[in-house]
Protein backbone atom coordinates (compact mmCIF):
# COMPACT_ATOMS: atom_id res chain seq x y z
CA UNK A 1 0.00 0.00 0.00
CA UNK A 2 1.16 3.48 -0.88
CA UNK A 3 0.01 6.30 1.42
CA UNK A 4 0.32 10.04 0.87
CA UNK A 5 -1.10 12.54 3.35
CA UNK A 6 -2.29 16.05 2.54
CA UNK A 7 -2.86 18.06 5.77
CA UNK A 8 -5.34 20.71 4.63
CA UNK A 9 -7.75 23.39 5.73
CA UNK A 10 -7.98 25.53 8.85
CA UNK A 11 -7.63 22.53 11.17
CA UNK A 12 -4.95 20.65 9.19
CA UNK A 13 -7.31 17.78 8.47
CA UNK A 14 -5.50 14.79 7.00
CA UNK A 15 -6.70 13.92 3.53
CA UNK A 16 -5.12 10.63 2.47
CA UNK A 17 -4.37 9.15 -0.92
CA UNK A 18 -4.05 5.38 -0.60
CA UNK A 19 -3.08 3.20 -3.53
CA UNK A 20 -2.50 -0.40 -4.51
CA UNK A 21 1.02 -0.57 -5.88
CA UNK A 22 0.21 -3.64 -7.98
CA UNK A 23 -2.67 -2.10 -9.91
CA UNK A 24 -2.06 1.66 -9.42
CA UNK A 25 -5.70 2.00 -8.31
CA UNK A 26 -6.14 4.68 -5.65
CA UNK A 27 -8.70 6.25 -3.33
CA UNK A 28 -8.95 9.47 -1.39
CA UNK A 29 -9.94 9.36 2.27
CA UNK A 30 -11.59 12.54 3.62
CA UNK A 31 -10.93 15.31 1.05
CA UNK A 32 -10.39 18.21 3.44
CA UNK A 33 -10.84 21.90 2.60
CA UNK A 34 -8.28 23.11 0.04
CA UNK A 35 -6.89 19.60 -0.52
CA UNK A 36 -8.15 19.36 -4.10
CA UNK A 37 -5.39 21.39 -5.79
CA UNK A 38 -2.59 19.49 -4.05
CA UNK A 39 -4.20 16.12 -4.75
CA UNK A 40 -4.74 17.00 -8.40
CA UNK A 41 -1.15 18.20 -8.81
CA UNK A 42 0.16 15.07 -7.12
CA UNK A 43 -1.90 12.77 -9.34
CA UNK A 44 -0.70 14.60 -12.45
CA UNK A 45 2.87 13.55 -11.58
CA UNK A 46 2.04 9.95 -10.71
CA UNK A 47 0.58 6.84 -12.34
CA UNK A 48 -2.15 6.39 -9.72
CA UNK A 49 -5.68 6.01 -11.11
CA UNK A 50 -8.20 7.53 -8.73
CA UNK A 51 -11.21 5.21 -8.33
CA UNK A 52 -13.22 6.29 -5.29
CA UNK A 53 -13.65 8.63 -2.34
CA UNK A 54 -13.96 7.13 1.15
CA UNK A 55 -15.35 9.22 4.00
CA UNK A 56 -14.81 8.40 7.67
CA UNK A 57 -17.63 10.83 8.58
CA UNK A 58 -19.38 13.94 7.30
CA UNK A 59 -18.05 16.84 9.37
CA UNK A 60 -17.31 19.78 7.10
CA UNK A 61 -13.55 19.65 7.53
CA UNK A 62 -13.56 16.12 6.06
CA UNK A 63 -15.93 16.59 3.11
CA UNK A 64 -15.30 20.12 1.78
CA UNK A 65 -13.56 19.04 -1.44
CA UNK A 66 -15.58 15.91 -2.16
CA UNK A 67 -17.59 17.46 -4.99
CA UNK A 68 -14.50 18.83 -6.75
CA UNK A 69 -12.85 15.40 -6.78
CA UNK A 70 -16.04 13.53 -7.65
CA UNK A 71 -16.69 15.71 -10.68
CA UNK A 72 -13.07 15.97 -11.84
CA UNK A 73 -12.42 12.21 -11.80
CA UNK A 74 -15.99 10.88 -12.18
CA UNK A 75 -15.63 8.59 -9.15
CA UNK A 76 -18.10 7.30 -6.54
CA UNK A 77 -18.35 8.48 -2.95
CA UNK A 78 -18.67 6.01 -0.06
CA UNK A 79 -20.04 7.03 3.34
CA UNK A 80 -21.92 5.43 6.23
CA UNK A 81 -25.70 5.62 5.92
CA UNK A 82 -26.01 7.70 9.10
CA UNK A 83 -23.65 10.33 7.70
CA UNK A 84 -25.25 10.56 4.25
CA UNK A 85 -27.82 13.24 5.17
CA UNK A 86 -25.11 15.71 6.16
CA UNK A 87 -23.22 15.03 2.92
CA UNK A 88 -26.41 15.70 0.98
CA UNK A 89 -27.13 18.84 3.01
CA UNK A 90 -23.86 20.07 4.55
CA UNK A 91 -24.45 21.81 7.85
CA UNK A 92 -27.56 19.84 8.73
CA UNK A 93 -25.58 18.28 11.57
CA UNK A 94 -25.65 21.61 13.38
CA UNK A 95 -21.87 22.05 13.37
CA UNK A 96 -20.88 25.67 12.64
CA UNK A 97 -19.15 25.84 9.26
CA UNK A 98 -17.20 28.84 7.88
CA UNK A 99 -17.33 27.49 4.32
CA UNK A 100 -20.00 27.04 1.69
CA UNK A 101 -19.88 23.33 0.87
CA UNK A 102 -21.85 22.00 -2.10
CA UNK A 103 -24.11 18.98 -1.51
CA UNK A 104 -23.06 15.58 -2.81
CA UNK A 105 -25.14 12.49 -3.39
CA UNK A 106 -23.34 9.38 -2.05
CA UNK A 107 -22.97 6.40 -4.35
CA UNK A 108 -22.57 3.63 -1.79
CA UNK A 109 -23.66 3.49 1.85
CA UNK A 110 -21.24 1.80 4.20
CA UNK A 111 -22.15 -0.50 7.09
CA UNK A 112 -20.24 -2.43 9.74
CA UNK A 113 -18.28 -5.36 8.33
CA UNK A 114 -18.41 -4.33 4.67
CA UNK A 115 -15.27 -4.57 2.56
CA UNK A 116 -14.02 -1.90 0.16
CA UNK A 117 -11.55 -2.80 -2.57
CA UNK A 118 -8.83 -0.60 -4.02
CA UNK A 119 -7.13 -2.68 -6.66
CA UNK A 120 -5.92 -5.73 -4.77
CA UNK A 121 -6.25 -4.01 -1.39
CA UNK A 122 -9.26 -4.79 0.79
CA UNK A 123 -10.34 -2.44 3.56
CA UNK A 124 -12.75 -3.54 6.27
CA UNK A 125 -15.35 -1.02 7.42
CA UNK A 126 -15.46 -0.70 11.23
CA UNK A 127 -18.40 1.33 12.50
CA UNK A 128 -17.14 3.49 15.38
CA UNK A 129 -19.96 5.81 16.55
CA UNK A 130 -19.30 8.42 19.20
CA UNK A 131 -17.69 11.42 17.54
CA UNK A 132 -20.58 11.21 15.08
CA UNK A 133 -23.30 8.57 14.59
CA UNK A 134 -21.88 7.09 11.40
CA UNK A 135 -18.16 7.46 11.99
CA UNK A 136 -16.19 4.60 10.49
CA UNK A 137 -12.60 3.44 10.34
CA UNK A 138 -11.03 1.62 7.40
CA UNK A 139 -8.77 -1.31 8.29
CA UNK A 140 -6.41 -3.20 5.98
CA UNK A 141 -5.78 -6.49 7.83
CA UNK A 142 -2.88 -7.89 5.82
CA UNK A 143 -0.64 -4.89 6.40
CA UNK A 144 -2.30 -3.86 9.69
CA UNK A 145 -3.13 -0.29 8.69
CA UNK A 146 -6.06 1.70 10.10
CA UNK A 147 -7.50 4.98 8.88
CA UNK A 148 -9.25 6.13 12.03
CA UNK A 149 -10.84 9.44 11.04
CA UNK A 150 -11.69 11.39 14.19
CA UNK A 151 -12.35 8.34 16.36
CA UNK A 152 -8.75 7.83 17.49
CA UNK A 153 -5.76 10.17 17.48
CA UNK A 154 -2.28 9.94 18.87
CA UNK A 155 -2.94 10.12 22.59
CA UNK A 156 -6.57 11.20 22.26
CA UNK A 157 -10.05 10.50 20.97
CA UNK A 158 -12.36 12.68 18.92
CA UNK A 159 -14.45 15.49 20.38
CA UNK A 160 -17.70 14.25 21.91
CA UNK A 161 -19.43 17.60 22.44
CA UNK A 162 -20.91 18.18 18.98
CA UNK A 163 -24.67 18.23 18.29
CA UNK A 164 -24.76 14.70 16.85
CA UNK A 165 -22.02 13.18 19.02
CA UNK A 166 -22.93 10.08 21.03
CA UNK A 167 -20.58 9.95 24.03
CA UNK A 168 -22.22 6.80 25.40
CA UNK A 169 -21.11 4.84 22.33
CA UNK A 170 -17.45 5.81 22.12
CA UNK A 171 -16.29 3.27 24.70
CA UNK A 172 -17.56 0.39 22.59
CA UNK A 173 -16.03 1.91 19.47
CA UNK A 174 -12.61 2.33 21.04
CA UNK A 175 -12.84 -1.18 22.48
CA UNK A 176 -13.17 -2.50 18.91
CA UNK A 177 -10.00 -0.71 17.91
CA UNK A 178 -8.15 -1.91 21.00
CA UNK A 179 -8.70 -5.48 19.79
CA UNK A 180 -6.74 -4.89 16.59
CA UNK A 181 -3.17 -6.23 16.46
CA UNK A 182 -0.84 -4.02 18.52
CA UNK A 183 1.42 -3.39 15.52
CA UNK A 184 -1.46 -1.78 13.60
CA UNK A 185 -0.41 1.60 12.24
CA UNK A 186 -3.06 4.26 12.83
CA UNK A 187 -3.48 7.14 10.38
CA UNK A 188 -5.84 9.64 12.07
CA UNK A 189 -7.94 12.50 10.75
CA UNK A 190 -5.69 15.05 12.48
CA UNK A 191 -2.11 14.94 13.67
CA UNK A 192 0.61 12.35 13.29
CA UNK A 193 0.32 8.60 12.97
CA UNK A 194 0.49 6.22 15.90
CA UNK A 195 -0.03 2.52 16.61
CA UNK A 196 -2.58 0.55 18.58
CA UNK A 197 0.22 -0.54 20.90
CA UNK A 198 1.20 3.08 21.61
CA UNK A 199 -2.41 3.84 22.59
CA UNK A 200 -3.02 0.57 24.45
CA UNK A 201 -2.41 1.99 27.93
CA UNK A 202 -5.54 4.16 27.80
CA UNK A 203 -7.58 2.07 25.34
CA UNK A 204 -7.75 -0.82 27.79
CA UNK A 205 -11.17 -1.31 29.45
CA UNK A 206 -9.62 -0.63 32.86
CA UNK A 207 -8.48 2.89 31.93
CA UNK A 208 -11.00 3.89 29.30
CA UNK A 209 -13.78 5.08 31.61
CA UNK A 210 -11.42 7.53 33.31
CA UNK A 211 -9.98 8.71 30.02
CA UNK A 212 -13.44 9.46 28.62
CA UNK A 213 -13.77 12.32 31.07
CA UNK A 214 -10.38 13.82 30.22
CA UNK A 215 -9.53 13.54 26.55
CA UNK A 216 -12.45 15.08 24.67
CA UNK A 217 -13.06 18.40 26.39
CA UNK A 218 -11.72 20.93 23.83
CA UNK A 219 -14.78 21.96 21.85
CA UNK A 220 -12.87 24.57 19.80
CA UNK A 221 -11.73 21.98 17.26
CA UNK A 222 -13.85 20.03 14.75
CA UNK A 223 -12.12 16.78 15.62
What are the per-10-residue average pLDDT scores of the chain (223 residues)? 97 98 98 98 95 98 98 98 98 93 98 97 98 98 98 95 95 95 98 96 68 47 51
Q: Are strands 145-149 and 152-153 parallel, antiparallel or unpaired?
A: unpaired
pLDDT value of residue 203: 83
Residues sharing a CB contact under 8 Å with residue 44, sequence separation 6 or more, in sequence order: none
pLDDT value of residue 118: 98
**Which among 189, 203, 185 is positioned nearest to 145, based on CA atoms?**
185
pLDDT value of residue 207: 63
Task: Give the global pTM.
Answer: 0.93
CA dist., res. 203 & res. 189, Å (int): 18
- The hierarchical CATH code for the domain 2-212 is 3.60.15.10
Amino acid sequence: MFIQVFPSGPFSTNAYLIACVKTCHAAIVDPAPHSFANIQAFLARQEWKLKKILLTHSHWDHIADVKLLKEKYAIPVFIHSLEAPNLQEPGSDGLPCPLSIPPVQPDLLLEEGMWVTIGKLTLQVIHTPGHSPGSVCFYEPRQHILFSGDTLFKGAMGNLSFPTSEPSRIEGSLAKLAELPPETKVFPGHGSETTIQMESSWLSPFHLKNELGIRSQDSSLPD
